[in-house]
């Protein structure tokens, strides 16, 4: 299979690139490197584009998804499936600069839809936001049948991407699958971000910095491990052409931010208490996703529990962070929401 991954240098995108290459597929990655890092693609380059596997199976193109040349890149790559993960992912930044967010996440996705139409690409798998598409649902875990209720510019823009894909499906026969992701965590998540709270807490504790909780610690999220999420993308990419739908990808379980702090403290061996700050506008109190449709249709279910996932993430952080130094950390904060 030939796959094209937008947002290939990002946290989830680069993990997906590695998995696709390991599975034997040819991959073209696109990223503008606004938050993504070339180092996230080290393993993809090391083996798969330098002849280690016999021939070059990985190509990286530094490009913005809003750029007019996207159509030529898609046409030239001739992909069987496009995994669309490139996005401005900082919810708080979307509140302060909604125009920038919309340009990247709405216009960028429309540009990709047009490129798919011109190149005749059918299968598109889109990283939707399960944490924000339902607003503040009263019943948890929430299923896909609950009406849309985005409450922030980021949430509106991510939903708009889904709706554009649906419209292109109606108009031009594109076959989209939208994966509405819960809070994804794991190796390669930016440890200096404002969300991705597991790596944020863990990196702070490992480098001797203090931790902050926004709110009173009772707000809860559905934390899903990155390898499980990547598995959902792979299954969606391989799904029968007739499957076009939105699927929640989460564990269905709520973990409070206070519990996350305790889990990370225990794993790191830290006894420092967090500081507490006011919550930000546009952020939810509680969310958890019912993924039974993904299990029934895609055969997907999560395999990594949050305690194990926290351990794996901390092992990665221990191997990459220099204590007391931020020199190796990515330059810009990011949020997965």
* Stretch of 117-125, 176-184, 200-208, 308-316 lying at the interface with ligand NAD (CB under 6 A): 176-184
CB nearer to ligand NAD: pick between 270 and 326: 326
Instruction: Give catalytic residue positions.
Output: 154
89 is an interface residue for ligand NAD by CB under 6 A: yes
Size of the site for ligand NAD (CB under 6 A): 32
Task: Find the binding residues for ligand NAD in span 305-334 (CB under 6 A).
Answer: 334
CA distance 252 to 263: 19
181 is an interface residue for ligand NAD by CB under 6 A: yes
88 is an interface residue for ligand NAD by CB under 6 A: yes
CB nearer to ligand NAD: pick between 62 and 210: 62
CA distance 82 to 27: 10
CA distance 126 to 31: 15
Task: Give the one residue of 3, 4, 5, 11 binding ligand NAD; rule: CB under 6 A.
Answer: 11
Tell me how far, at minimum, the Cβ of 80 lies from ligand NAD, in Å.
21
Place of tokens 């809003």: 66
CA distances from 309 to 165, 188, 242 (A): 32, 13, 33
127 is an interface residue for ligand NAD by CB under 6 A: yes
Tell me how far, at minimum, the Cβ of 51 lies from ligand NAD, in Å.
26
Beta bridge partners of 44: none
User: CB–CB of 114/169 below 8 Å?
Assistant: no
User: CB–CB of 33/10 below 8 Å?
Assistant: no
CB nearer to ligand NAD: pick between 272 and 333: 333
User: CB–CB of 297/245 below 8 Å?
Assistant: yes
User: CB–CB of 186/314 below 8 Å?
Assistant: no
> Helix or strand or coil: residue 105?
helix
Residue 44: DSSP 8-state: I
CA distance 164 to 126: 11
283 is an interface residue for ligand NAD by CB under 6 A: no
39 is an interface residue for ligand NAD by CB under 6 A: no
* Stretch of 48-56, 111-119, 126-134, 201-209 lying at the interface with ligand NAD (CB under 6 A): 126-134
Place of tokens 């947002």: 7
Instruction: Give the interface with ligand NAD as residue ranges (CB under 6 A).
Output: 7, 9-13, 31-36, 64-66, 85-89, 104, 108, 127, 129, 131, 158, 181, 183-184, 334, 336-337
């Amino acid at each position: 299979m030939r796959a094209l991954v937008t947002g290939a240098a990002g946290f989830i995108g680069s993990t997906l690139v590695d998995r696709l290459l390991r599975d034997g597929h040819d991959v073209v990655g696109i990223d503008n490197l606004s938050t993504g890092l070339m180092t996230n693609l080290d393993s993809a380059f090391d083996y798969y584009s330098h002849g280690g596997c016999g021939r070059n199976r990985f190509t990286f193109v530094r490009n913005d998804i809003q750029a007019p040349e996207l159509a030529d890149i898609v046409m030239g790559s001739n992909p069987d499936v496009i995994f669309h993960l490139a996005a401005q992912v900082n919810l708080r930044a979307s509140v302060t600069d909604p125009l920038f967010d919309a340009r990247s996440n709405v216009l960028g996705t429309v540009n990709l839809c047009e490129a798919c139409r011109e190149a005749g690409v059918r299968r598109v798998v889109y990283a939707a936001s399960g944490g924000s598409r339902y607003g503040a649902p009263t019943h948890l875990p929430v299923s896909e049948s609950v009406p849309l209720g985005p409450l922030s510019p980021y949430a509106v823009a991510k939903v708009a991407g889904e709706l554009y894909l649906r419209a292109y499906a109606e108009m031009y026969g594109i076959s989209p699958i939208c994966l509405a992701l819960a809070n994804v965590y794991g190796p390669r998540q930016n440890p200096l971000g404002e969300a991705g709270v597991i790596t944020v807490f863990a990196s702070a504790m490992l480098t001797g910095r203090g931790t902050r909780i926004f709110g009173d610690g009772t707000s809860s999220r559905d934390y899903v491990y990155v390898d499980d999420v990547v598995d959902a993308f792979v299954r969606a990419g391989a799904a029968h052409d007739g499957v076009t739908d939105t699927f929640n990808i989460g564990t269905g379980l709520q973990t409070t931010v206070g519990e996350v702090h305790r889990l990370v403290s225990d794993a790191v061996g830290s006894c420092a208490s967090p500081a507490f700050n006011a919550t930000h506008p546009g952020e939810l109190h509680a969310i958890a996703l019912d993924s039974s449709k993904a299990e029934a249709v895609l055969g997907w279910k999560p395999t990594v529990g949050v305690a194990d996932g926290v351990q794996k993430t901390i092992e990665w952080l221990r191997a990459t962070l220099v204590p007391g130094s931020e020199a190796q950390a990515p330059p810009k904060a990011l949020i997965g929401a």
